[in-house]
Amino acid sequence: MASSRYLVHVTSSPTTVPVAVWVKVHTEEHLPDLVNSKTCERADLYREISGAFSSRHVEPKSFLALYHTTFQEPLNTSNYTQGVRPTSDLFKQAGSTDNTMRGNGHLDARNYTMVRDYDPSELGVSKGATPYVLVVETDPPDAEADSFEEWVLKEHILAFTKLEGYGRSVFYRLGDRALLTKTLPGKSLVIHHVTSMNAFDSRIFESSYHGKRSIVRSWQLIHAEGY
C-alpha cells in the first residue's frame, strides 16, 4: 500500500493542560475520529526527540500529527466537520475552562501534496508506521525550484538510503494555506521513515548545500491509527 496523495502536517504543544491530557485527547479521540470519519486514511502522533537537530528549530512545538488523506483540504470536508469531535470533556476534567484544542494549545497546520514516494524496499504502509521519522523542511529560492526537486530525488533521498534503519522517504510540495497555518512554511517537505535512532547521528544531510538552509526535526511515534 502506497502513501496517500495528500498530507496534513500539524505541530502542537499544550498550553493549559498537562502533556498527558494532550496526548490522551489525540490518541483516544481525535486520531480515531479522523480515521473513522474517513477524513484520513491513517493518522500518526509523534513526540519530538530532545537534542536532535535542536539548532534547526524555528518554533518549539513538541508534538507532530500527520494526517494521510485522499482529500486536498480534508479539514474543509463534511467528513471532518460532521465526524470529528470539535470538543473534548477531557480538557474540562483536567481543569481547563475551554474544551477545544485551540483553546488548550498552540497548533500550526499545513497542507501538502505528495511529489514522490521513494520506497526501494517496498515497505509501504502495510506494516504500520515506522517508530521514527526525520522531517526536513526547505524553502528553496524560486530560481532554484527545478534544480532543487532534482536534487531531492537524485541526491538527498539516495543519501539517506545509506542510513542505519532506513525505510522509505516521501517528498511533498506545499499546498493551499490551511485554516490553522500560523507560520510561514517551507515550500518542500521530505519525511524519512526510519527504524533506528542511529539514523539521527548522520551528518550526510547537514553538510550539504541545501541542508544548511533547512529545518530538520526528528520525531518518535506515540500512536498510529488506521494501519
**pLDDT value at residue 162:** 80
99 has pLDDT over 50: yes
Task: Name, in order, each residue with C-beta under 8 angstroms of 58's C-beta and a sequence gap of 6 or more.
Answer: 183, 215
Mean pLDDT in residue range 154-160: 80
Alpha carbons 93 and 123: distance in angstroms, whole number: 41
Mean pLDDT in residue range 161-174: 89
Question: Which option is the CATH number for 6-219: 3.30.450.20, 3.40.640.10, 3.30.70.100, 3.40.1160.10?
Answer: 3.30.70.100
Task: Name, in order, each residue with C-beta under 8 angstroms of 23's C-beta and a sequence gap of 6 or more.
Answer: 45, 63, 222, 223
pLDDT winner (highest mean) among 52-66, 89-103, 120-134:
89-103
**pLDDT value at residue 203:** 63
Which of the pair, 150 or 95, is modelled with greater confidence?
95
Q: Are 149 and 194 in contact (CB under 8 A)?
A: no
Strand partners, 73: none
| pLDDT tens-place string over residues 17-36 | 999 999 999 999 999 999 99
Average model confidence (pLDDT) across the chain: 86
**pLDDT value at residue 163:** 81
**pLDDT value at residue 196:** 87
**pLDDT value at residue 209:** 45
- Sign, Cα dihedral of 106, 111, 114, 115: negative
Residue 217: CA count within 13 A, CB half-sphere: 18
- H-type alpha helices, the chain: 19-25, 31-36, 78-83, 89-93, 145-151, 157-160
**pLDDT value at residue 19:** 96
H or E stretch including 51?
none
Alpha carbons 185 and 194: distance in angstroms, whole number: 24
**Percentage of residues in the chain having pLDDT higher than 90:** 55
Confidence of residue 201 (pLDDT cuts 50, 70, 90): low
Of 75, 62, 42, the C-alpha closest to 175 is 75
Confidence of residue 151 (pLDDT cuts 50, 70, 90): confident
Confidence of residue 138 (pLDDT cuts 50, 70, 90): confident
Alpha carbons 153 and 159: distance in angstroms, whole number: 10
Q: How is the chain split into domains, by residue range?
A: 6-219
Mean pLDDT in residue range 148-158: 80
**pLDDT value at residue 55:** 44
Residue with cell 493549559: 16
φ, ψ of residue 107 to 5 degrees: the values are: -130, 145
